[in-house]
Amino acid sequence: MFHRIHRAMASVALAAALLPLAALAQGKTELLVYTALEADQIKAYQEAFEKDHPNVSLKFVRDSTGIVTAKLLAEKANPQADVVWGLAATSLMLLDREGMLMPYAPKNLAAIKPTMRDARNPPTWVGMDVWSSAICFNTVEAGKKNLPKPATWEDLTKPVYRGAITMPHPASSGTGYLMVSAWLQMMGEQKGWAFMDALHQNMGVYTHSGSKPCRQAGAGEFPIGLSFEYRANKTKKDGAPIDIVLPAEGLGWDMEATAILKTTKRPEAAKLLADWATSRKANELYAKNFAIVALPGVQEKLQFIDADIEKMLVKNDFGWAAANRDRILAEWSRRYEAKAEKR
C-alpha cells in the first residue's frame, strides 16, 4: 500500500514536472478553459477533444456558474482564460455586454438549432445543451415524516414541507438563477415574488451550488432538493433513494454555451475547440448528460428523466434574464437574506 502511494506520488510529481516540457517539445498549444461543467463530465469531453486534436491540450478552471462568471469579470483587465466552454448563456451575455467575447462562426454553426445560439452573425456564443430544473425527493425520509410527493411548484409552498426544502442561492448558482428567472417570467413579477415569499417559509437552507440540494436530498439531510436534471439522474444512479419530480407548471432552464475570449493569444487553437464543441461527436457526449442538446437528432434519453422534458421547458427570454440579473438578485437578497434567521 505504502509503496503504491509512494510510487503514485513520484509519478504524479514527475508528470507535473514534465508535462509543460513535453508540451513544448511537441509544439503543443495549451488552452486555458473556464467552465461550470460538472467535474464528472469534463474528463470525457477533454479526452475526446484531445484525441481529435493532439496538438492542443486543455487546462480547466471549474467552479459554480456564479463564481466562474465573477472570476471572468474580475479578470476583465487581465483575462486569463482563452475559451469558455460550458457556462450559462445568461452569464456569457453579461461578458458580451462588457465586450469580452470574440465573434466567431464555428464550422458546424449551420446545423445548430437556431434557438440555441447568439442571434447575430457571427455569434459571440453558441449553445451546447439545455439544463433545466428538477426536484429530488427522498422517498425514505418522506416516508418517515409522512411527506406527500409534490407534483407542482405550488405544492412546495404547503406548510407540511416547512424546513424540508433546499434550493441553490441564485447569486452564486446558475441553477438557482434559472429557477428564479423562470418563476418570474412564468407567473409574472408580482405573483412570482409572492410564490417565493411562501417558498421561503419552507426553505431549510439556500445552498451555494446547484448540485448540493440534490446531493443533500440523496443523503436525507433535507428531503426535498431543488436542483437540475443531470445531477438528479446521477444521484439516483449512485444509489440514493430519490424520486425525480418535474413540476407540472414548467421547468426553468438555461443553456450551456461556448465562447472565445477576445483577448486570447491562441486564437487558432481556440477556434479549433469552438469548432469541435459544435461537432456531432461533442453533441453525442453532451447527450449522455443532458436530455436536450444543440444539434438536432442526437438526443438520447436519460435513464431516470422523462423523454418529453423538452416540452416542459417554460418560455425563456434570455435577453430579459441577463439584463435584469442584477436587479433580480438585489431584490432577492433584500427579501430573503435580511430576515432569513428571524422566521
Partner 1 sequence: MTAVSTTGHGMSARLDAPAQGALGVSLLAAGALFIAAPVLALLARALFDGSGEFVGFGNFSAYFAAPALTDSAVRSLRLSAIAAAITVALAYGYAYGLTLTQMRHKTFFRAAALLPLLAPSLLMAISLVYLFGHQGLLKDWLGRPIYGELGIVVGSVLWTFPHALLILIASLSAIDARLVEAARTMGASPWDVFRTVMLPASRYGVAMAFAVVFVLVITDFGVPKVIGGQANVLATDLYKQVVGLQNFAMGAVVGAVLLAPAIGAFFIERHLRRRQASAFGARAVPYMPEPWALRDRLFWGYCALVSALLVGVLAMAVYASFVRLWPYDLSLSLRNYDFDQMDGGGWITFWNSLRLSFGTALAGTVLAFLTAWFVVKPRRFGALRDAVNLLATVPLAVPGLALGLGYIMFFNAPSNPLSGLYATMTILVVCTVVHFFSVAHLTLVTALSQLDREFEFVAESLGVPFWQTLARVHLPVVLPALLEVAGYFFVNAMTTVSAVVFLYAPHTQLASVAVLNMDDAGDIAPAAAMAVLIFVTAALVRLGFMAVERWALTRTNRWRLR
Residues in contact with partner 1 by CB under 8 A are 9, 12-13, 16, 32, 38-40, 59-64, 66-67, 69-71, 73-75, 77-78, 80, 140, 163, 169, 171-172, 203-209, 211-216, 219-222, 238-241, 329, 333-334, 337-338, 340-341
Shortest CB 222 distance to partner 1, Å: 7
CB nearer to partner 1: pick between 282 and 329: 329
Shortest CB 6 distance to partner 1, Å: 13
Neighbours of 12 (CB within 10 A): 10
Look up residue 264 and give its three cell numbers: 486570447
Shortest CB 282 distance to partner 1, Å: 21
Gyration radius from the chain CA atoms: 21
Shortest CB 7 distance to partner 1, Å: 14
Helix (H) / strand (E) containing 97: helix 89-97
> Whose CA is closest to 64, among 266, 269, 207, 208?
208
CB nearer to partner 1: pick between 181 and 278: 181
Quick one: 134 exposed, middle or buried, by C-beta within 10 A (0-12, 13-18, 19+)? Answer: buried
CB nearer to partner 1: pick between 41 and 283: 41
Phi then psi for residue 306, to 5 deg, are: -55, 140
- Residue the block writes with cell 441553490: 168
Whether the bond into 122 is cis, omega within 30 of 0 = yes
CB nearer to partner 1: pick between 59 and 158: 59
Shortest CB 214 distance to partner 1, Å: 7
CB nearer to partner 1: pick between 2 and 119: 2
Shortest CB 294 distance to partner 1, Å: 24
CB nearer to partner 1: pick between 242 and 314: 242
CA-CA distance, 270 to 185, in Å (whole number)?
35
CA distances (Å), 270 to each of 80, 160, 291, in order? 13, 52, 27
